[in-house]
Amino acid sequence: MIAELEAGTSALALPVEVGQPMMGYGARVAPAAALHDPLHARAVYLRGRSDCLIVSLEVCLIAPAQADLVRAELERRTGVPAQRILVACIHTHAGPDTGIAALAAGQPAPAHAAALFDTAVRAGEAAVKGAAPARLAHARAEARIGANRRVAAGPFDPEALVLRIDGARGAPLAVLYSYGCHPTALGPENLAWSADWPWAAGRAIEAALPGANPIFLLGAHSDVDPRTRGVKDLAETGKTRGVGFDEVERLGREVGEAVALAALAAEPARAAAAVGARSARVRLRAHREEPEARSRALAALDLPPDSELGTNDFFRLETERTQGLPPEERRERIARVRAYLRGRMAPRFAGGAEADVEVQVLRIGDARLAALPLEATVDVGRDWKARVAAPAALLSIANGWLRYLPHERNFREPGAHRHYEVLMSTFEADAATRLLEQAERLERSLAAELGA
């Protein structure tokens, strides 16, 4: 018999200061100059026959090694096994530098990053310590603030999975929701700390359900930007200017109000909710540098075949040396440069020619969450939902970040060789399929343990 549900939640402000470096845009040229909205580490802990702990950091990215350290420390302090702990990022591009670029270059993370992860640990610990009898309700909401940036009128999933957690007397403790859209309404010109549109979504949820902790989990979003941006085009370099906070608030409020309405209408489960999590690793092959890719990249930039360039030189020159060309020619030339850089950079992110990539599946009541340390496209998220006969969501940038994860069919689409998400992927085309197959196996084992 499944034990009665207990839950705890917490929200701690992240220690960010004016003058610290921000993360999210290469075009940003100055540190943070103001605080627009406080950033948080938000956590929720759920315990029935088994348990799981979710910590959502309002930052852009963290490395898998950083997530592993947080999970290990939480296991030490709380006793919750690391495989049942999820450390997620909301992916705001107006958050603090976590040192992921320094780590990739073999350098230590900046000193202030340690305080961010300490806050994440304390938030998770507080959620576990605060566990008390609770009830769970789930619902679906729809919001349409996003648009496919890979192809015009391309796929977009407007659904948000919503989980409302109440105390024993019915007062809301937390609203956990997943939605697939980049938090990039703000652009590189913004120098104020902010959670971007999830900030305004959280405010709307708090207004409708006083006392509820609004916890955002990023869904399958890698080819979806806020509708204020448009299609991502290699021929339009520098097209990253964002909107102001008034528009950010409108976008977030659309999501938050839809989530709040669904949460308020959801009926708590009559039986105790099944809760648990499992993880496993899948060995994936990183992209390799194709024969002649380097010479094609140099030729695209009208450079001699014996030119020696660093990665940043290629990124700089692809803009400088293709300016003024017709858009179609510019796209093709930049795509040849990016195809070479993909093969050159992928093993660095993977840590070698192959990598053991974690797949985590969480069961929260009827909901099945598959968590991956990559930025999944809409098609990956839809594939997961099609595989599970239950409310489901695919979570991106979960337990670290290893760049983009297109679906296998995204690699075969017309013009795929020019699509940003394909060119910035780390693993070969079958990666998403293999990860989802492992997620299915984990989901079945959880169902056997906890009950269908």
pTM: 0.96
Query: What is the per-residue pLDDT for 120?
Result: 98
Which burial class, exposed, middle or buried, applies to 11 when counting CB atoms under 10 A from its CB (0-12, 13-18, 19+)? buried
Within 13 Å and on the Cβ side, how many CA atoms surround 49? 17
**Residues 224-245, mean pLDDT to the nearest whole number:** 88
Sorted by where each begins, the domain ranges of the chain are 6-280+356-450, 288-350
pLDDT tens, residue by residue, 171-191: 999 999 999 999 999 999 999
pLDDT tens, residue by residue, 440-450: 999 999 999 99
pLDDT tens, residue by residue, 21-45: 999 998 898 999 999 999 999 999 9
Residue 275 has pLDDT above 70, yes or no: yes
Query: What is the per-residue pLDDT for 105?
Result: 78
How far, rounded to the nearest angstrom, does the alpha carbon of residue 66 sit from its chain's CA centroid?
15
Residue 1 has pLDDT above 90, yes or no: no
pLDDT tens, residue by residue, 71-81: 999 999 999 99
Q: Is 64 helix (H, G, I), strand (E, B) or coil?
A: helix
Torsion over CA: 336, 340, 345, 347 (sign)? positive
Query: What is the per-residue pLDDT for 377?
Result: 98
* Closest alpha carbon to 56 in 34, 39, 78: 39
pLDDT tens, residue by residue, 119-157: 999 999 999 999 999 999 999 999 999 999 999 899 999
* Residues above pLDDT 70, as percent of the chain: 98
Query: What is the per-residue pLDDT for 443?
Result: 97
Token output for 70: 């947080």
Residue with the two structure tokens 């440069």: 337
Query: What is the per-residue pLDDT for 117?
Result: 97
DSSP 423-451: HTB-B-TTHHHHHHHHHHHHHHHHHHHH-
Q: What share of the chain is helix, strand, coil (3-state, %, to 5)?
A: 35, 25, 40
**Residues 311-322, mean pLDDT to the nearest whole number:** 93
For residues 51 and 275, the answer to whether their CB atoms sit within 8 Å is yes
pLDDT category of residue 374 using cuts at 50, 70 and 90: very high
Residue 90 has pLDDT above 70, yes or no: yes
